[in-house]
Amino acid sequence: GFRSTDDYYDTFKAFLFYCPQGDSPPVILPKIGGSGAAIFDYARGGPQFGADGLLIGPPLVPVMGGLSGPDPNKGEGDLSQAKSRLGLSYACRPDGKDSIFGDDKKATVVEIEVFTCPAIRDMY
């Protein structure tokens, strides 16, 4: 994760988006169900939006958290793998599909573009 705190952050400002094929504009999928657990920051995994909205390189073993003791020394996620399930933390697609990848729940990451905001500190 970005800070590797093994914790999560609450915010209503988080969202996912995808770009449909053709000339259609990007489609924004807002955070739903309250601000809780919008962004997870696990040391052994990549970016994670919600519990299951979009996970890039999900950890291969459970994250224990500081109160449960140290995490295992192994189990880092594969940052070339991603999975998605929409509808709990982030809105489903307008076409009714419950994965940001469309019909597929999993995808191989080929390229990542990072968009940031000058006020990113305010999100945390």
Q: Average per-residue pLDDT in the chain? A: 81
Provide the phi-psi class of 66: left if phi over 0, else alpha when psi is between -120 and 50, else beta: alpha
Which of 18 and 62 is assigned the larger pLDDT? 18
Per-residue pLDDT for 91 more than 50? yes
Are the C-beta atoms of residues 72 and 61 closer than 8 Å to each other? yes
Are the C-beta atoms of residues 76 and 51 closer than 8 Å to each other? no
Give pLDDT, residue 124.
58
Give pLDDT, residue 108.
95
Structure tokens at 104: 């597929």
Q: 56 forms bridges with which residues in the sheet?
A: 82
Can you give the C-alpha Rg of the chain in angstroms?
Answer: 15
Check residue 105 and report its DSSP letter.
Answer: S
Which of 75 and 26 is assigned the larger pLDDT? 26
What is the pLDDT confidence band of residue 1, given thresholds at 50, 70 and 90? very low
